[in-house]
Structure 1
Amino acid sequence: MITMNQGAVKNAMVEVDAKGQAVPELAETLEPSADAKTWVAKLRQGVEFHSGKTLDADDVIASIAWHSREGSTSAANAVAKSMGNIRKDGPNTVIFELESGNADFPYLLSDYHILIGPADSSGNIDWDAGDGTGAYSIKSFEPGVGTHLIRNPNYWKEGRGHFDECRLIAINDAAARMNAMATGQVDAIARTDLKTVGMLKKKPGVEILQVAGTKHFTYPMDVRQEKFGDNNVRMALKLGINRQTFVDTVLRGYGSLGNDHPISVSQNYCATEIPQRQYDPDKARWHLLQSGYGGLDVEIHASDAAFSGAVDATALYAESAKAAGINIKVTRASADGYWSNTWMKVPWSASYWSGRPTADWMFTIGYKAGGNWSETFWDNARFEELLVMGRAELDEAKRRDIYVEMQTILHNEGGTVIPCFANNVDARSDKLAHGDLAGNFELDGCRSCERWWFA
């Protein structure tokens, strides 16, 4: 869905480039006030939706308001609400009046959820119509199966949108996905199966793409549950996983160790001063004793829909935890409907995050209390206080201190086991060409349809 929408069918106000920088997209310019509380966006003029409607400020305001409306279940609800009061100053200017300063504000406007659609005279948007300003329009769309896109001859962005047609096919089974690439049924795939990527690499005409980024695998616990509500239990589970074995075996070395917070070493403000948590079954057992457990029986649900090899990876986790007196029952969940029927519906499950370009954004969408994607249902008063402080702080040194403390809180008290950061490992035919690859999402920031071309 991200690859279908982002750049292909729709555009955002801001795009994240291959260097991880926020650059204007539908916004031609984006200028802050001195305190970063007010931002003025000038829209590109002459941009048209596939329907022929010209982009204007009303479209931008309505698109963002849809995510922050009363009763919204959007994953971007918290981000959209943080944008404060949004108003227009003529048809081509949008003014954002934030409740507090946010030096990272342009990155929020690059959120793949907050894409711009056409508003009608009542300020409503028919999202099901699939109308956008992107390089391609939708010829057909079958949820869970695939999408057929055709080139938009009036695309406003020069040097983008080179293919006449793009077909996006949902292949959830990793083996089937790898076979489709190996046999030439498809030109590119995301999330290669690392167990067999070495074999795929030997296939003539196939190129393996590896980009370090912010993607990380997680095991979120619902801290509202009695066992997971006890931080000693959470600490035991964090200490009961052998992270190095996880990286070596599950990722085949295509990644780095996680430290139970979501900020990658490739990002600003990563708290590298926090000691790397090591596999320590004796210490894990000690934490269980503090909770009154001589041993621990827990169940975790996993599916390869969470990340490639998730079921085997979770079994590896369960094996390492045995030395701490922890018995983890691994239940294989169906890949179909995993994100709607299992994730955040069961007490403990496998998950993954593609990450976000900034610390504030990642903390807001994934860990802020009450957020629709706050997968552990964790609520920490000090963390919430620091979140607001860090967003408004313009002094870089002070801001870093705030984010280090937030990562430390998550490391010591959070409800998520984060064993590793995974490189984006995709595959493409050598018939395709591209520029520098972005690492914020798979397949060149999920913009391969828009950015790539035939060699």
Structure 2
Amino acid sequence: MTAKGLVNGLLKSSRAFVLGTALIAGSMTMLSTSQAQAEKILRIGNDGEPQSMDPHFISTVQTSRISDDMSLGLLTYGPDGQPVPGAAESWTVSEDGMTYTFKIRDHNWSDGTPVTAQDFIAGWERLLDPALGAEYASLLYIIEGAEEVNTGKDGAKLAAKAIDDHTLEVKLTAPAPYFLAQLTHQTAFAIPRHVVEKYGKDWVKPENIVVNGAYKLVEWVPNVHTKLVKNEEFYDAANVPIDEVIYYTYEDRTAMQNRFRAEELDVARDIASEQISWLRDNLADSLRIAPYAGIYYYAIRTDKEKFQDPNVRKALSLAINREAITDAVLKTGELPAYSFVPPGTGNYTEPAYVSWKDLSYGDKVAEAKKLMEAVGYTAENPLKFTLRYNTSENHKRIAIAVQNMWK
């Protein structure tokens, strides 16, 4: 159950794809490495238009890919996918696991201004400001006072303190083994206070933006491309081998694959799932399928009267043949989802599965029909509503399959 209502999980532990000579974790990629290496330019096909360059307004993978290239959190991810020091060069944890103290490395924003502990606190306070309406603000609720600040409680104060410019102390509401990994997320990034105060929400425009990551934004042409160049102020710039990264926007996966095959892209971050067999036969050396911790779901509008009965929502979930979608529609190794948390999630126990997980699909449909009939929906009086999906042929194929199952 989410704030909006029941979540009907379809797929989890889905696979990410890479086409090329190098694996890009969590993505699908096609590469033409010889040209990229010669010119030191990496051309990436991104399967969606960025929402914003402001980390506090990002909620899509397609956007976070770009943001992660430009911003360095207290921690970042190493080549093996494990958290490693980022803007924080070291940290200590109290014996009770409730207090973290970070030593901020000596490094600058892209305009040469030093990055300080207070810049991280400012970023968190901005994210939690109720007036901002940040979608992912709740991800910081593990920090003491964060929820109270975000919900506008009088006298609320975030338990994060700058001991000095390079020392940040953070107190949690409870021990959280996942906290360090959480600091790699854009919700925990610092903000350049001097720039945000000057330009407000316009601070992320190419002519204004200041960052502390490996690359900085120089051009964003909506629905065409986003261009980044190497940030010479980045603390480890000497070890950044690529001078320019261009993200080209493709809602159409097939078009993106065609651009890759024409050597106009070095990386394609997704594929048209109906072409997986052809890709395996013809581009096997380029295709990479890697684990991806995520879940595909539809959120139901429980503010609509027709969806307020939990039996209606349960019936819709029962009627989705997850196995058919994973095996016949996508065919790329996704697992049927019967819990909201994917199996194998770090620092998490065995997921809680729905009680009807092991029923045959025929029994699930029979139960779904009983539930619908009990609230008055029949073939003569069907439940009618609109199903919306994100733009792409992959999402469309899933939506068509689910529509037919619900009929």
Q: How does 1:296-335 map to 2 (within 5 A)?
A: 296-305=382-391, 309-322=394-407
2:215 equivalent in structure 1: 136
Residue type of the partner of 1:259? Y
In 1, are the aligned partners of 2:225 and 2:249 still within 8 Å (CA)? yes
Return the match for 2:334 from 245, 255, 267.
255
1:29 equivalent in structure 2: 90
Q: How does 1:237-386 map to 2 (within 5 A)?
A: 237-265=316-344, 267=346, 268-271=348-351, 276=357, 278=359, 279=361, 280-295=364-379, 296-305=382-391, 309-322=394-407
Runs of at least 5 residues in structure 1 that lack an aligned partner in the other structure: 323-455
Residue type of the partner of 2:295? H
The structure-2 alpha-carbon separation of the partners of 1:58 and 1:266, relative to structure 1 and needing over 3 Å to count, comes to closer
Q: Which digits, 9 at most, give the CA deviation of each residue in 1:123-151, with x for residues without a partner?
A: 67734432111111222122333111112
Return the match for 1:155 from 226, 229, 234.
234
CA drift of 1:79 comes to 2.0
CA distance in 2, matches of 1:101, 1:266: 17
Q: Which digits, 9 at most, give the CA deviation of each residue in 1:198-230, with x for residues without a partner?
A: 334455696112111212211110122222221
Secondary structure at the counterpart of residue 384 of structure 2: strand
1:379 equivalent in structure 2: none
1:401 equivalent in structure 2: none
The structure-2 alpha-carbon separation of the partners of 1:233 and 1:249, relative to structure 1 and needing over 3 Å to count, comes to same
Q: How does 1:129-278 map to 2 (within 5 A)?
A: 129-157=208-236, 160-203=239-282, 207-265=286-344, 267=346, 268-271=348-351, 276=357, 278=359
The structure-2 alpha-carbon separation of the partners of 1:160 and 1:321, relative to structure 1 and needing over 3 Å to count, comes to farther
2:12 equivalent in structure 1: none
Q: Give the alignment's TM-score, normalised by structure 1.
A: 0.64
CA distance in 1, matches of 2:266, 2:196: 42
1:3 equivalent in structure 2: 65
Residue type of the partner of 1:31? T
Secondary structure at the counterpart of residue 298 of structure 1: coil
In 2, are the aligned partners of 1:43 and 1:93 still within 8 Å (CA)? yes
CA distance in 2, matches of 1:121, 1:310: 38
The structure-2 alpha-carbon separation of the partners of 1:38 and 1:282, relative to structure 1 and needing over 3 Å to count, comes to same
Secondary structure at the counterpart of residue 349 of structure 2: coil
The structure-2 alpha-carbon separation of the partners of 1:26 and 1:127, relative to structure 1 and needing over 3 Å to count, comes to same
The structure-2 alpha-carbon separation of the partners of 1:137 and 1:28, relative to structure 1 and needing over 3 Å to count, comes to same
Q: Give the alignment's TM-score, normalised by structure 2.
A: 0.71
Return the match for 1:102 from 155, 168, 176.
176
Runs of at least 5 residues in structure 2 that lack an aligned partner in the other structure: 1-62, 145-158
1:366 equivalent in structure 2: none
The structure-2 alpha-carbon separation of the partners of 1:25 and 1:88, relative to structure 1 and needing over 3 Å to count, comes to same
Q: Is it true that 1:50 corresponds to 2:82 in the alignment? A: no
Secondary structure at the counterpart of residue 184 of structure 1: coil
Q: Which digits, 9 at most, give the CA deviation of each residue in 1:221-257, with x for residues without a partner?
A: 0122222221101110111011111101222142111
In 1, are the aligned partners of 2:139 and 2:187 still within 8 Å (CA)? no
CA distance in 2, matches of 1:146, 1:133: 22
The structure-2 alpha-carbon separation of the partners of 1:236 and 1:57, relative to structure 1 and needing over 3 Å to count, comes to same
Secondary structure at the counterpart of residue 188 of structure 2: coil
In 1, are the aligned partners of 2:257 and 2:271 still within 8 Å (CA)? yes
In 2, are the aligned partners of 1:192 and 1:308 still within 8 Å (CA)? no
Residue type of the partner of 1:207? S
Secondary structure at the counterpart of residue 383 of structure 2: strand
Residue type of the partner of 1:314? A
In 1, are the aligned partners of 2:216 and 2:231 still within 8 Å (CA)? yes
1:13 equivalent in structure 2: 74
The Cα RMSD (Å) is 2.6
Residue type of the partner of 2:351? A
CA drift of 1:116 comes to 2.3
CA distance in 2, matches of 1:64, 1:127: 17
Secondary structure at the counterpart of residue 399 of structure 2: helix
Residue type of the partner of 1:89? I
Residue type of the partner of 2:397? D
Residue type of the partner of 2:98? K
CA distance in 2, matches of 1:75, 1:141: 23
In 2, are the aligned partners of 1:138 and 1:150 still within 8 Å (CA)? yes
2:137 equivalent in structure 1: 77
In 1, are the aligned partners of 2:339 and 2:352 still within 8 Å (CA)? no
Return the match for 2:100 from 39, 48, 51.
39
Q: Which digits, 9 at most, give the CA deviation of each residue in 1:262-285, with x for residues without a partner?
A: 333454423277663543210111
In 2, are the aligned partners of 1:191 and 1:308 still within 8 Å (CA)? no
Greater shift in the superposed pair: 188-197 or 273-282: 273-282
In 2, are the aligned partners of 1:303 and 1:310 still within 8 Å (CA)? yes
In 2, are the aligned partners of 1:302 and 1:311 still within 8 Å (CA)? no
Aligned residues: 319
1:399 equivalent in structure 2: none
CA drift of 1:18 comes to 5.1
Q: Which digits, 9 at most, give the CA deviation of each residue in 1:367-392, with x for residues without a partner?
A: xxxxxxxxxxxxxxxxxxxxxxxxxx
In 1, are the aligned partners of 2:73 and 2:87 still within 8 Å (CA)? yes
In 2, are the aligned partners of 1:65 and 1:80 still within 8 Å (CA)? no
CA drift of 1:122 comes to 9.1
CA distance in 2, matches of 1:186, 1:71: 40
The structure-2 alpha-carbon separation of the partners of 1:249 and 1:238, relative to structure 1 and needing over 3 Å to count, comes to same
1:404 equivalent in structure 2: none
